[in-house]
A and B are shown apart, each in its own frame.
Chain A
Amino acid sequence: MTDAAIVTQKLTRRFGALLAVDEMDLQVAAGQFFGFLGPNGAGKSTTIKMLTGLLAPSSGRVQLLGLDFSSHAVEVKRQIGVVPEGMGLFERLTGAEYLNFVGRMYGLDRATTRQRSEELLEFMQLADRPKSVIADYSHGMQKKLALAAAVIHGPRILFLDEPFEGVDALAAGALKALLGRMTERGVTIFLTSHVLEIVERLCSHVAIIHKGRLVAQGSLEELRAGTRGEEGRQTTLEEIFVSIVGQDGSERPQMEELSWLM
């Protein structure tokens, strides 16, 4: 891959005795809409945190847009946008104040920041409550604001941790369209979600992490080709996911043990 946006080499993170991410080698090409999947506790959020500078790797390297993260942290951060786990909002600012703050933190001038803030608030349908502080927003509104903050500086890579959780259908549709347009213009989107239908609809490429190890990576077609589904029907991402992650049977709940419930 010549124009890789995200490259990790033997990326590892330990928390004491727990190996959360184990020598991960990941490659994401520029302009890809990339889905990063895994069961709960597989290491998805830990990986995103390492890719965005929120967590230092125990070992291994992260390269974004050809720059080594550890030695060019500020240059790399200038070109990425993040919706972190928990959204990372300053809850006692209003939506407009928060976007103005973030814009200025990314070095945008005041006029540009203000103009973009207003446009983003309008697009996200958040402009109607100019005096409400973020703490008073609903979960979905906070999510939309976090997304707006992640794109205000026009990033070249966008990291989204469960971006559509709690967002209403109308806003989610508009957001998906926006993200699609961004990838057309060369922006790389790295998305995690537990809603596999969303990932299947939006992403061209997918990686699956399980118990800290990367167990599958490729385009949806490549993954489908490696999974045998029912004849005459296209294999769904859910089937691919279950066949890869649940191969050893340990992930599938043992229904017989819950006989008292049935």
Chain B
Amino acid sequence: MANVAGNLGVGGQIRLVAELRWRILRNHLRRKNSKLDLIGLIWAAIFSGIMVIGLSFAFCWGAYISISTGHFGWLVLLFWSIFLFWQVFPLFVAGFGATFEFRTLLRFPLSLTAFYLVGLAYGLADFAAIASICWLLAIAVGAGIANPALLPAVSAILVLFVFMSTTFERLLGSWLERLLARRRTRELFFGLFILLSVSVQFIRPLITRYANGSSPSSVLRFLPYLSPFPPSLASRALAAAAGGHDATFLWSVTGILAYIGVFSALLWRRFAAQYRGEELSEAAAPARVASRVNSRTDSSSDALGLFSPQVAAVLRKEFRYLSRNGFVLVSLLMPPILVLLFSSQFGGPHPSVTHRGISPDMFFPGMMGYLILMLMTPAYNCFAYEGRGIQTYFTAPLGFRDVLLGKNLMHAGVLVFEVVLSMLVLALRIGLPSTPVFIATIAAVIFAVAGQFAIADWVSLSFPRKLEFGSMRGQRSSGVSIWVAFGVQILLAGICSLILFAGRWTNSPWLPAEAFVALAAASIAGYFATLDVLSGVAEKKKEILIETLSR
């Protein structure tokens, strides 16, 4: 061998990784279908920029007021809000843009130290870290304006805080990666995460009901319990520096350093395991040979005998996919939970948001409309989970209308289940509306759903986006499908509102019901009429479908 690889150094390696991430993102956006993503990204960048700059002023002002008026207790809120944003936000946004598997770097000649440092630096390259650092700088500016003598101490505290937060964020990420390596655990975790997010919404109604109103002081009362943690220590160190309490300052800084030590040791351990080639895949271990299942004669009648074998096969397959997608399955609990939440906020005898409860005649159509808005969104990317299996639909001897019909029927089944469940919750919480409103709403739901299926199928065929099973990070439909879904739903909501209000204006309670029944019938007929047209669209779009979903 004539020569061997040279030694690049950690700095060079970090620069290479940054360059690699940038090139991956750039090449991702260059793809034909990513033009709209680029527009979306530019919009997101503009909004994010405005948010970061706006909040920077707020943090600067907060730090200035806190130090100049001696209200040091407020500093803790600033540090905690930055810390929580830094740790939680990456979970939501990591997948927006190109993904990069950091551990693939292990194939290159990196020392463990270099791997650790590159990994740590990598943690500074996401939006949450950049935004948080901007806000911390704003705190430094605010503190500096209030008391210029504080600047050295503030700088030291903020450097330590950045170091601690980055290390903790990477530690959290790497442990989550390990814990969520198995699909089932991942699905369960994300499902619980969503439920938790929704459950947080109940806090305010509960406080309103049982604690006679909420106030900032109730939050401040809770803060002393958080004093041993890093954000509280950072704020205490800053307050001590401003107040000239050197011992407290030193103790607080030592506390942050201790946290850095502990987090660094744990992160080193984690990265060392990865460096050694830790296996996180979920491939099953060699299984013990199971006893053979004897061939059974198939005497049971087919529960789906009403449909053609192809439609029945698609329906069964869709049901199995639904039952195995823990994330989607758990998210099906959301509609009744949301109905419960909104009914406690806006309806019933003790609404927490309004003074008087909204009547069932108003609440019921609104709630059903919201449910349809939420539940129909996945229909606009209905091939998302097919993966390479999409090819089977094109090699099998069938018209694509059977596939669409099977998928839409399954979706309609889920909708019926959810709507009935939510209606039960509504009936228990605030009661059902009058008969004309009830019939009008149900007919409007049928009209909206059947009408949307035809458009959603076309969007699914034309702008597909692959989604991963049981995963939340980076799982979103294409920009076009999101905007079309939004536009169609706004349009349908407008039509439905107009008809409902027409009934009120003309004082004809049965007018909306009659109009919606007619529209629902037309919508169903229109849906079936479009199925063959959509089969033709599928044939034309099969290349892009296969290419996108098999990737």
| Nearest-CB residue, chain A, relative to B183 | A135
Whether the pair A111, B321 counts as a contact (CB closer than 8 A) is no
- Give the interface segment out of A126-134, A171-179, A240-248: A126-134
| Nearest-CB residue, chain B, relative to A149 | B392
- Give the interface segment out of B50-58, B68-76, B85-93, B280-288: B280-288
Does B506 make an interface contact (CB < 8 A)? no
Given the known interface contacts A74-B399, A107-B310, A129-B290, the answer about A54 and B2 at a Cβ–Cβ threshold of 8 Å is no
Chain B residues closer than 8 Å to A91, beta-carbon distance: 387-389
Whether the pair B394, A260 counts as a contact (CB closer than 8 A) is no
Does B200 make an interface contact (CB < 8 A)? no
Given the known interface contacts A77-B395, A105-B392, A138-B283, the answer about A260 and B298 at a Cβ–Cβ threshold of 8 Å is no
Does B397 make an interface contact (CB < 8 A)? yes
Whether the pair A107, B320 counts as a contact (CB closer than 8 A) is no
Q: How far is the CA of A106 from the CA of B292 in the complex (A)?
A: 26
Interface bracket on A: 35 or more
We find that the number of chain B residues with CB closer than 8 angstroms to chain A is: 48
Does B26 make an interface contact (CB < 8 A)? no
Whether the pair A102, B396 counts as a contact (CB closer than 8 A) is yes
Given the known interface contacts A130-B290, A136-B284, A260-B2, the answer about A105 and B388 at a Cβ–Cβ threshold of 8 Å is no
Looking at the complex, which one of B292, B295, B324, B397 makes contact with A92 (CB distance below 8 Å)? B324
Chain A residues closer than 8 Å to B296, beta-carbon distance: 114
Given the known interface contacts A92-B321, A107-B397, the answer about A261 and B2 at a Cβ–Cβ threshold of 8 Å is yes
Whether the pair B469, A84 counts as a contact (CB closer than 8 A) is no
Interfacial residues of chain A within 32-90, with CB under 8 A of chain B in the complex:
52-56, 74-78, 80, 82, 84, 86-90
| Nearest-CB residue, chain A, relative to B539 | A56
Given the known interface contacts A128-B289, A260-B2, the answer about A111 and B297 at a Cβ–Cβ threshold of 8 Å is yes
Given the known interface contacts A53-B394, A132-B287, the answer about A92 and B325 at a Cβ–Cβ threshold of 8 Å is yes
Does B35 make an interface contact (CB < 8 A)? no
Chain B residues closer than 8 Å to A74, beta-carbon distance: 397-399
Whether the pair A87, B395 counts as a contact (CB closer than 8 A) is no
Q: How far is the CA of A100 from the CA of B309 in the complex (A)?
A: 11
Does A110 make an interface contact (CB < 8 A)? yes
> What's the least CB distance linking A176 to chain B, in Å?
23
Interfacial residues of chain B within 308-333, with CB under 8 A of chain A in the complex:
309-310, 312-313, 316-317, 320-321, 324-325
Whether the pair B290, A128 counts as a contact (CB closer than 8 A) is yes
Chain B residues closer than 8 Å to A259, beta-carbon distance: 2
Whether the pair A88, B388 counts as a contact (CB closer than 8 A) is yes
Looking at the complex, which one of A76, A89, A101, A133 makes contact with B324 (CB distance below 8 Å)? A133
Does B543 make an interface contact (CB < 8 A)? yes
Whether the pair B3, A260 counts as a contact (CB closer than 8 A) is yes
Looking at the complex, which one of B289, B290, B542 makes contact with A54 (CB distance below 8 Å)? B542
Interfacial residues of chain A within 85-122, with CB under 8 A of chain B in the complex:
86-93, 97, 100-102, 104-111, 114-115, 118, 122
Q: How far is the CA of A114 from the CA of B396 in the complex (A)?
A: 18
Whether the pair A89, B388 counts as a contact (CB closer than 8 A) is yes
Looking at the complex, which one of A86, A108, A115 makes contact with B388 (CB distance below 8 Å)? A86
Whether the pair B397, A90 counts as a contact (CB closer than 8 A) is no
Whether the pair A89, B396 counts as a contact (CB closer than 8 A) is no
Given the known interface contacts A101-B316, A105-B313, the answer about A87 and B388 at a Cβ–Cβ threshold of 8 Å is yes
Chain B residues closer than 8 Å to A136, beta-carbon distance: 282-284
Q: How far is the CA of A77 from the CA of B309 in the complex (A)?
A: 16
Most chain B CB within 10 A, of A86, A100, A105, A135, is at A105
Does B532 make an interface contact (CB < 8 A)? no
Q: How far is the CA of A173 from the CA of B462 in the complex (A)?
A: 43
Whether the pair A127, B282 counts as a contact (CB closer than 8 A) is no
Whether the pair A129, B399 counts as a contact (CB closer than 8 A) is no
Chain A residues closer than 8 Å to B289, beta-carbon distance: 128
Chain A residues closer than 8 Å to B316, beta-carbon distance: 100-101, 104
Given the known interface contacts A82-B395, A101-B313, A261-B2, the answer about A128 and B543 at a Cβ–Cβ threshold of 8 Å is no
Q: How far is the CA of A76 from the CA of B539 in the complex (A)?
A: 15
| Nearest-CB residue, chain A, relative to B325 | A92
Chain A residues closer than 8 Å to B391, beta-carbon distance: 54, 82, 84, 86, 88
> What's the least CB distance linking B136 to chain A, in Å?
43
> What's the least CB distance linking B271 to chain A, in Å?
28
| Nearest-CB residue, chain B, relative to A108 | B309
Whether the pair B293, A77 counts as a contact (CB closer than 8 A) is no
Chain A residues closer than 8 Å to B287, beta-carbon distance: 128-129, 132
Whether the pair A102, B392 counts as a contact (CB closer than 8 A) is yes
> What's the least CB distance linking B319 to chain A, in Å?
11
Given the known interface contacts A118-B295, A128-B287, the answer about A75 and B397 at a Cβ–Cβ threshold of 8 Å is yes
Does B511 make an interface contact (CB < 8 A)? no
Q: Mark B290-310, 1 if CB is under 8 A from A, else 0.
A: 101101111000100000011
Whether the pair A97, B392 counts as a contact (CB closer than 8 A) is no
Q: List 13 A-B contacts (CB under 8 A).
A: A52-B395, A76-B397, A77-B396, A90-B321, A102-B392, A102-B396, A104-B316, A130-B290, A132-B287, A135-B469, A136-B284, A259-B2, A261-B1
Sample of 19 more A-B contacts, CB < 8 Å, known A88-B388, A106-B396, A135-B183: A54-B394, A55-B543, A80-B395, A84-B395, A88-B391, A90-B389, A92-B320, A93-B320, A106-B397, A107-B309, A108-B309, A111-B297, A114-B298, A115-B298, A128-B287, A130-B293, A136-B283, A260-B2, A262-B2
Query: Which 9 A-B residue pairs are closest in the complex by CB-CB distance?
Result: A88-B391, A90-B389, A104-B313, A77-B397, A78-B397, A111-B298, A105-B396, A260-B2, A104-B309
